Amino acid sequence: MPVEGRTILMTGGSEGTGLSAARIFARKGANVVIVSRSQAKLDEAIKSIKTEARSPETQRFHAIAADVAEPGYAERVVADAAAWNDGQPPEIVWCLAGLSTPMLWTEEEAMKAARYSMDVNYFGSAEMSRAIMCAWLLPGQGAKQPPTGQSRPAAKHIIFTGSVLSVFSLAGHGTYMPSKFALRALADALAMEERVTALVRKEESHDRRGGVYMGIRQVPGIPNSLTSSFIVHEPMARVA
């Protein structure tokens, strides 16, 4: 996935895995937009990311304070990012904001924790994916498409973050696993939906080189205990 010169938006980008990935993208020459609830953490994160820029004179970095658990947050974030990015929505979106609150299902706070996990882990990513897909695909909302006959545009990407508990169950994580199972199902559904709409767009344009090319994927999560220096060497974190 080439990132040099492209704009990447990352939720959960002010610390941990998100911040480490943002620093990697900066080293690869990308423009980076990070999203988090805390403006203070965002300010510190931007300073850290800027120190990694391959081309400090041309690369740009932006922070947006938002809570992914709030309904409707994503449309505002995408609009803010697009306004900052000369009217164009980010070409790559990575949803990294997430949390886990392990507890037994019979504990008093279990349902509260499960609902909040769904709000952050599932709906936070679901809303962002819909907002950016609307910006890319709906007429008048996304980046301009190349005229017929021009070269195929670079693919756009939506990345969801999963964990090992996206694929199998474990006692004590009933408050967390459903949100990741649901996210995995959404990724599969959106990938199929994009294949269908891509065929429709090709038929409408009568040109195989027109339209938006989009990839939707879910990557495995990285344990919180890993340090930034280790993450740099993770194969899944390497970008072209």
Contacts of 90 (CB under 8 A, 6+ apart): 7, 8, 9, 33, 78, 81, 82, 132
The single residue of 112, 122, 180, 202 carrying the catalytic annotation is 180
Return d(Cα 177, Cα 166) in angstroms, integer: 6
Phi, psi for 200 (deg, rounded to 5): -65, -45
Nearest to 28 by CA among 67, 7, 54, 62: 54
Helices (H) and strands (E) in the chain, counts: 7, 6
Judge whether 122 counts as a catalytic residue: no
Distance from C-alpha of 40 to C-alpha of 120, rounded to nearest angstrom: 20
Choose the catalytic residue: 28, 73, 122, 176: 176
Rounded CA gap, 54 and 58, in Å?
A: 9
Residue 223 to residue 85: CA distance in whole angstroms: 32
Residue type, 224: N
Active site residues: 176, 180
